[in-house]
Every structure is written in structure tokens, then in C-alpha cells.
Structure 1
């Protein structure tokens, strides 16, 4: 069957491999499956329900929910009548909702629960969205429940959908995804059915799973990465099980035994840190064995056979130590796909060593999203790079190092923003990614920084902050970090300690366990981080080295407005919030002779 529009995925699955558990979510402590047939039938009811409300082709419908089957039923139901879904993060502000509802001209809203319903109610006050067009997935007093929409749909005839579906063209607008970016108002990225499905087709041969496999889904479906991968799973007949929440992933992995899941680097770091913390709790021979295996893992290289002795030791480490890692991840995991940010090479090395293959990829919302991905086979996977280009993808490196790309997956443009579209896609059709990169060995793409995040010191030297941050964040004592120093004499850093690890260090080193605010002012702690920075500085050129650092007591979060929903630091906001601290940092340096060469 030819999958040309998103909803063709449902008919394709029914025809090729009808599944008893196409989608499954945990309800009352048990995973409840929906079959391929149920998914298609309920999607039809959503479409007919929307038509009964008076919605038509081209209308915009918002979806605000964490992952669950209803999210996809809504998504496909909107698409079947030629509507456009507007997925939004549950974590954004009421003001952001109001802006997006208005900018997109949203006509109806699907929302998960009571808390989000209240936010939506506040955001829609005074807007042209009737209250009867807002439906909740959970039962919420005073709100229309999703079942009501399905009941409305039962009054219609599924046969009436056929001409509407036939009228939807591959180039029609499927979804409008608002990216918050690190500055300015959100921009609506316009993606057609073909944008997304061309990305699925071009990524298809990199998917090492099929109809016997299960995937665990927990990255937000409103993010294009998880949505495109979901479409890919369904095309390949993979059953999709939803994690209950970010907090329950460890339990859900053991219950579902998935073959694959997608993740962002931060989550893998947390998994790794937890495993290492358990290793520290071991004593005697167990402790020694754990760190022997870990050291072996950190030397692993997909591109290099390290000989008989290393391979024999690694096989032993897998039997004694790493098998427990695999069990903790469900015991059936074939691979993890990582995206949405730079993965620390040490994590990829140690997971590969433990026979858990990490496929790091790269792309943007504007490219639907995948541009390159590391393969499942070691020869097509280079740790530290983001992989070879997927099929039918063109990439060239501009003179200033920026990655430019051209393919059927590149967006139609930014909604209502022709001038921004013209800035992003040049007259020759090349999309300017804003990322700086290079090719290694002629075929592996490597990202070296964000073009907009690079800055010059007053000495005229370019600094790539992400490279420095990613390296130093490899240390278990550093939770978050941001390098500053635009137009200053040297780079400096704002550092937020990993407080759980720091408390353990404090107990062993005679520092009384105090509040975060007290810990970051303690002289011993300040010296600890100063020495850490000094150690990592050795890997950088003299002008790139962080010469001053300051410790901050509070994490940057989405709620404080200092992180985007995809967990990228909002540099301008953080700089503004800490301007006095940064100013004092440099003033103090001016008062100290020869600071710039102290490290």
C-alpha cells in the first residue's frame, strides 16, 4: 500500500500486519491495548465528530497532552478531514497558548487533564474558540470528555469520510509546530504530509525493528522527533506502549521489555548516573569489578577492533556486569535512538560496550526532522558524530561552516512569516540550519556548534560554548553549565552543581550538608569546581579556556523560563537573569592581576 498521507499509515497497518496491540497505555495498573482495527475505527469517529462540530478542511485543531493513544487518534482524525493539527507542549505558559491559538487561528482543542484544561480555559478567554469545541482525554468536571466527541461521530457514516480523505493531497498542510527557540515569539513550522512521510521513507532502512517488536514511547509527541518515529514504528508494524510518565520509565521498561525507544541525551545521562551511583555503593570485589567494566566500556570504539585481549575482557564484563544494565532496561533492548541535543561520547561508548546500541541522529523541526543518523551496524556508526546522511538528503557546508540542507523533508515555511521563511530557505532552496559542522571520513556529519551561539571575545577569537559545556558536563558533579564572554577578554562559566553528587562529596570531605545556597558559597566546594574546570580546560586552546566560574544554587527549568521545552538553555534569559553576577565576575577578574593566564 502506498503511504502518501499520514492517515494512510492506519490502512497500511491493517492490510499488512493487523496488530492486537497497535497502541497500549496503562489504565488502572494494567496495559490496555488497542488493536489496529480499533485505532482505525476510533480515528473515524474523531473525524466524524469534528465534522459534526462544523470543522472542515484547512481548520486548525490544537492537541495539548502527554503521550497516550488519544493523542494519535486525534492527530489522524484531524488529518482525515484535511485539518491541520497544532501540537503544543503541556509545559508552556498560558501566554504562549494564547499567542499560538491566535496566530494559528485554532478552532478546537484536545487537552489531557484538569490542570491543562484550566490553563486552556484561561488562554481561550476572549478568543474565537467555542467552549464546546474543547475536549478532555481525562474526565474533568465542567468539560466535554473525548467520549462525547466519539458519540457525536457515531451519528455519522464512515463512508462519508472517503471523499474527504481522497481530497487530501500529499502537499497539504498536516501540522503546524511552534518552536519556542531560544529567543523571541514562537514560530509556526508548516509541515505537509509529504514532508513527514518523505522523512519516514528516507529513514526506513535505518530502523532495526519490525512487527515482532515493541517500542516504549515517552518523548513528547508534540516534538517532531517522537511523532515522526511513531509514524515509522506504525509503518513497520511495531507495537507502541506509552510510559505513564517520565518518573516511571524505569518500571515501564521492565514491564514492556521494548526492543527500541527514543530519548534525549539528558535522560541517558540520568540513567548512566544512576547506574554509576549504584556501582559506588558496592564494596570489595564487586566495587572493583564494576569500575573495571566501566573503564573498559569507556574505551569502546565502534570504528576500531581493539584486539583479542580487549574483546575477551569485554565479553567477560558483559557476562558479569553489563548484563545487569540490559536487564534494568527491560532485557530485550536492541537499540536506543538519541536526538534533540549533543550526546556525550562517553555515554555512547559505554552503552555500545554493554551491547546496547545507541544511534545518535541530527535534525530540526524544519526538516521533519532527520538529516543524519548513526546506523545500527558498527561500521555505520561513529561515536562523536551524528552519522551518515539519510537517503535522498543533500547537505553542503557553507563557507562559514554552516550546515545547509535540501530535501523533500524541508518545511513549507513559517506560518504567517514570509520574511523569516526567506531568511531560512535561500533562493536556491537550501535550508540554513544555524548549526556549524563538518564531514569526518567523508561521510559522517559532525556538529561543532550553533552558529547563533558562537561569540567573539574582545580579542577577536571565536568561542563555541556548546563544545566546552558538553565536555565539562561529562563530569558527574556538573548538572548544568553555560559559558559566557561575548566581547569580554576571556570566557567564564555559570555552573549549577549536581547537588546529589555534591552532597556525597561534601559528607566525605567534612563539609556540613547544608542548603544549596550554602554549599555553593563553601570555600572547599568553590575550590573543587575551580580544579574541575582547570582539569577540563587542558583539552582546549588557550583562548577557549574558562578563566573564571561561579556556582549557582538553583536549576534552570522550563518553568523558570530559562530552558526551552526541548531542554536547551535560553542563553539570553539566563544572561539577563544573572547579569549582576556576570558583571561582578569580570570586575573581580579585572582587580586580580594576570587572571587571564591563571589556568
Structure 2
């Protein structure tokens, strides 16, 4: 595949290669629906031309407040194709925090999923010219365009595809503004370019290659850059299928419906999955004792197997483990959809029991580390070289070093352009091209990183 200059070119190449393949799946009215890559592309084009008729241009800041949904993806790519800057905001945030983000980023339009949130958002001091509603109808005297109306505007525009601006967008052009997740009352606005994101996708795909045969179940919010890169952009680059979970609570049900091959999550999410699978064991002392025995057998087997000496595994242990795989672990695996190849955790899993559980049922968990200031991913384990309890090795093209106090510094083409409208903080955070991560860490002799703590300020 040719090297892309911007994110929309990346999508265009995938559409050209896999026009009739399913790109997105989502649950509606009790069943999953699907959209091909060609249909996705056509809808993005129409929505982009509709936005252009509303005055959205290169550099315009437009917020997206929505749960994971095809309309989120369509909105994001349409904005990127115009050279506009998308500002994804998690809709469950406090309204005052959303107000701050909208004002600080100079947002001129808001694309929002639900009417209730729209009603609250319209109270923000008037810096916003357009409101676009994905679902339902605006309430009261709130004025907003329907998502479909904007698509229709684009369909009726007398514009040729050759007038579409995306081929002229350069890798250095701004793509998105996302916000730090430290939990500050007024989080920092992180400006990322097309090149920042493309480089992170390329480096990630080198470490953790996806294929067009993969299916993802997207659970983490797309407003999170880790999910947006590893569970959205990178799968699209590979021509994979992304299905959206209804919620964390319904993820188990959705897994059995879409049969994902890869799952992106956090340590907390995998802890929840582990509890969901094992919670019924506490109701039966016999089941509980059997499960404990099974985990001990699996741990002993993998302790030997991980050293690469399969011939040294005692025959009795091999038979016991084979029995557990066929009659115990296979059933658990089926509860997760029956097709998972591996899972990715945005952070190391502190609970060795959870990590051992997934390993026992044949599901590698690739622990990784990243932050939005470096787009998404800085380091990760690889399938062929997993060191449990570490965040893995730096991605290709990523340099690391440590200050005397242990703070991790990173140099990479994925390092942000800077904090939006905050040159002073940007200068403190990026010094001579090195990103000061604000976390203390260690690297072992093989350069595997272990995050220790957040540095006190």
C-alpha cells in the first residue's frame, strides 16, 4: 500500500482495495447492521460536501459528542477531508467541562448524538454557529440540523469529486484536538497532526499487524486516542471490520454476536471480563475448587512452555492441560465469541491472576503504554515476545531515555504539535524534541518498559 499523506488518503486506499467488504457494524433495533467501505466512503463524501455548504473550511474546529457509532466515524473523516479539525469530546463528561472544552478550542460547530445533551450544549456562550443532531429531534426552541439533512445538502451540491480538498492536505496539517485524561478540572487541549497519527498507525502496525480478516469489537470510547488509533484507524488501514459494543455491560452478549478476533481494552475492562466469567464459580464450592485446580495446572504448564522446552513438560501435565483446554477453557473461549486471536491492554495489568487466566485459555494479552501527547502508543509487547507485567518495548522509530529522577522521556514522530493555545506549557513538556511524559519508569536489559508511577508536581 502506498504511503499516505493524510488520514483520508489512508481510508481511500482501503476503499479502493476492499470496496465491498464490511467496514462497520452497529446494533440497532435489536440486531447488528453493517456498512461496506464503499458505502462509508460515499456517505463521508456527501456529509463533507454538506458541511462545506455550511461554511466548514480548513482549520475550522468542530466538536463530536457521541458514543461509538458510524455517525462518529463519518463525522470525523468528513471533517478531516475538508482540512477541518475534529474535537472529539466524551459525552458523559460534566456539562461545565464540556463548556470549557468547546470554548477553549474555539469550536464553531458541534455534532451531537442525543437531543438531551444538545439542549444542554446550546447554552454555551455563543461561539458555535451550527449544531448537528445525529439521532432524534431537537427539543423546544433548540435549532439544529439533522445529520441526514447535512448528507442531503452534500448530495444536492453541484460539486465534483475532483473538488474534494483531501488530496491537498499535508501530513503537517492539524487533524484533531483531544484532551488530556489526567482528571484536571480544565484538561489540556492536545493538537495532533495527520502525520502524528499516521506515524503512530504505521509503527503500531509494524509491532501488532492486523489483517483484512480481523473483526474488532470497539468498547472504549473513540474520544480516547488509544482506542482511536489501535481500534479504529489501524483496523481501517488494514481493511478490517469494526463492530461497536452497545455498552461495557453488554459486551459479553455482543462478543457472541460479532465474534471479534481482536479486543482493545484497559486493565479495568479485562478485570471486568474476568469477573463476569468467574462470578458464578463462587456459587458452587465444587466448581470453585475445580477452577482453582485448573488454574494451577495451566500455570505450571505455561511456566515450562514459556521457557521453550515443550519436551520437558511431564506427560501427566500435558494430558491434564489438554483435557482442560478441550472441556473447560474452550467453553470460556466460546463465551468471548470463539474467534479471539489476542487482546491489547492500554496499560500493564496489575493483577497477575487475571493475566494468567487469559493466558490459560489461550488468549495472549499485549500490555502497552501510551498517552495522547504522543498520539496514542509509545510501547507495547509483541505476540512473539511477551513479558508479562511490562508495557513492552518502544515502537519502531521511538526513542526513550530517563532523567535522573526516573522520568521517562520520548522522542517520536508521533509527539504532538503542542498544547492548543498554551505555548508555555508546550515548551515545558517538549524540550529539544523530547516529550516529558510525567511518569517514572524503568527499562530492563531488553528495553522492556515498566511504568512505576506518575511523577509528583
Q: TM-score, normalised by structure 1?
A: 0.71
Q: How many residues align?
A: 445
Output the CA distance in 1 between the equivalents of 2:91 and 2:352: 31
Task: Find runs of 4+ consecutive structure 1 residues off by over 6 angstroms.
Answer: none
What is the aligned partner in structure 2 of residue 324 from structure 1? 331
SS state of the match for residue 210, structure 2?
coil
SS state of the match for residue 132, structure 2?
strand
Q: Is 1:432 the counterpart of 2:436 in the alignment?
A: yes
Conserved? CA contact 1:303–1:381, under 8 Å = no
1:270 aligned to which of 272, 276, 279: 272
SS state of the match for residue 215, structure 1?
strand
Output the CA distance in 1 between the equivalents of 2:319 and 2:191: 52
What is the aligned partner in structure 1 of residue 136 from structure 2? 139
Output the CA distance in 2 between the equivalents of 1:184 and 1:255: 39
What is the aligned partner in structure 2 of residue 304 from structure 1? 307
2:344 aligned to which of 325, 337, 340: 337
What is the aligned partner in structure 2 of residue 73 from structure 1? 74
Output the CA distance in 1 between the equivalents of 2:155 and 2:348: 44
What is the aligned partner in structure 2 of residue 225 from structure 1? 226
SS state of the match for residue 393, structure 2?
coil
Deviates more, 1:90-99 or 1:16-25: 16-25
C-alpha displacement of 1:434: 1.0
Conserved? CA contact 2:9–2:166, under 8 Å = no
Output the CA distance in 1 between the equivalents of 2:208 and 2:371: 19
Listed one character per residue, the Cα deviations across residues 393-444 of structure 1 (whole Å, up to 9, x for unaligned) are 1011221111110010000000000110011111x21101111111123221
Conserved? CA contact 1:48–1:161, under 8 Å = no
Q: Using a 3 Å threshold, how does the CA distance of structure 1 residues 384 and 415 change in structure 2: closer, same or farther? A: same
Matches within 5 A, 1:418-567: 418-426=423-431, 428-452=432-456
Query: Structure 1: 5+ residue runs without aligned partners?
Result: 454-599
C-alpha displacement of 1:342: 4.7
Output the CA distance in 2 between the equivalents of 1:89 and 1:311: 48
Output the CA distance in 1 between the equivalents of 2:450 and 2:347: 14
What is the aligned partner in structure 2 of residue 410 from structure 1? 415
Matches within 5 A, 1:363-402: 363-377=370-384, 380-402=385-407
C-alpha displacement of 1:189: 0.3
Output the CA distance in 2 between the equivalents of 1:360 and 1:410: 21
Structure possessing the higher radius of gyration over alpha carbons: 1
Conserved? CA contact 1:43–1:73, under 8 Å = yes
Conserved? CA contact 2:348–2:389, under 8 Å = no
Q: Using a 3 Å threshold, how does the CA distance of structure 1 residues 182 and 341 change in structure 2: closer, same or farther? A: farther
Query: Structure 2: 5+ residue runs without aligned partners?
Result: none
Output the CA distance in 2 between the equivalents of 1:346 and 1:368: 31
C-alpha displacement of 1:319: 1.9
Output the CA distance in 1 between the equivalents of 2:209 and 2:363: 13
Q: Using a 3 Å threshold, how does the CA distance of structure 1 residues 448 and 312 change in structure 2: closer, same or farther? A: farther
What is the aligned partner in structure 2 of residue 41 from structure 1? 42
Output the CA distance in 1 between the equivalents of 2:299 and 2:357: 5
Q: Using a 3 Å threshold, how does the CA distance of structure 1 residues 85 and 3 change in structure 2: closer, same or farther? A: same
C-alpha displacement of 1:450: 1.3
Output the CA distance in 2 between the equivalents of 1:245 and 1:398: 41
C-alpha displacement of 1:186: 1.2
Matches within 5 A, 1:165-244: 165-229=166-230, 230-244=232-246
Listed one character per residue, the Cα deviations across residues 541-564 of structure 1 (whole Å, up to 9, x for unaligned) are xxxxxxxxxxxxxxxxxxxxxxxx
Output the CA distance in 2 between the equivalents of 1:347 and 1:4: 41
Listed one character per residue, the Cα deviations across residues 77-124 of structure 1 (whole Å, up to 9, x for unaligned) are 0011100000001111111111111111101111111232222123x2
Q: Using a 3 Å threshold, how does the CA distance of structure 1 residues 121 and 297 change in structure 2: closer, same or farther? A: farther
SS state of the match for residue 246, structure 2?
coil
SS state of the match for residue 7, structure 2?
coil
Output the CA distance in 2 between the equivalents of 1:323 and 1:271: 16
Output the CA distance in 2 between the equivalents of 1:96 and 1:350: 38
Aligned residues: CA RMSD: 1.9
Deviates more, 1:7-16 or 1:41-50: 7-16
What is the aligned partner in structure 2 of residue 7 from structure 1? 8
Output the CA distance in 2 between the equivalents of 1:160 and 1:275: 50
What is the aligned partner in structure 2 of residue 88 from structure 1? 89
SS state of the match for residue 361, structure 1?
strand
Deviates more, 1:153-162 or 1:193-202: 153-162
C-alpha displacement of 1:160: 5.3
Output the CA distance in 2 between the equivalents of 1:251 and 1:22: 21
Q: Using a 3 Å threshold, how does the CA distance of structure 1 residues 213 and 166 change in structure 2: closer, same or farther? A: closer
Higher relative contact order (CA 8 A, sep 6+): 2
Conserved? CA contact 2:9–2:167, under 8 Å = no
SS state of the match for residue 55, structure 2?
coil
Output the CA distance in 1 between the equivalents of 2:388 and 2:348: 14
Listed one character per residue, the Cα deviations across residues 56-81 of structure 1 (whole Å, up to 9, x for unaligned) are 11000000111011101000000111
Deviates more, 1:401-410 or 1:441-450: 441-450
Output the CA distance in 2 between the equivalents of 1:357 and 1:341: 13
Q: Using a 3 Å threshold, how does the CA distance of structure 1 residues 308 and 160 change in structure 2: closer, same or farther? A: closer
Listed one character per residue, the Cα deviations across residues 15-41 of structure 1 (whole Å, up to 9, x for unaligned) are 222243111111211211111111111
Output the CA distance in 1 between the equivalents of 2:271 and 2:248: 14
Output the CA distance in 1 between the equivalents of 2:65 and 2:348: 23
Conserved? CA contact 1:260–1:335, under 8 Å = yes
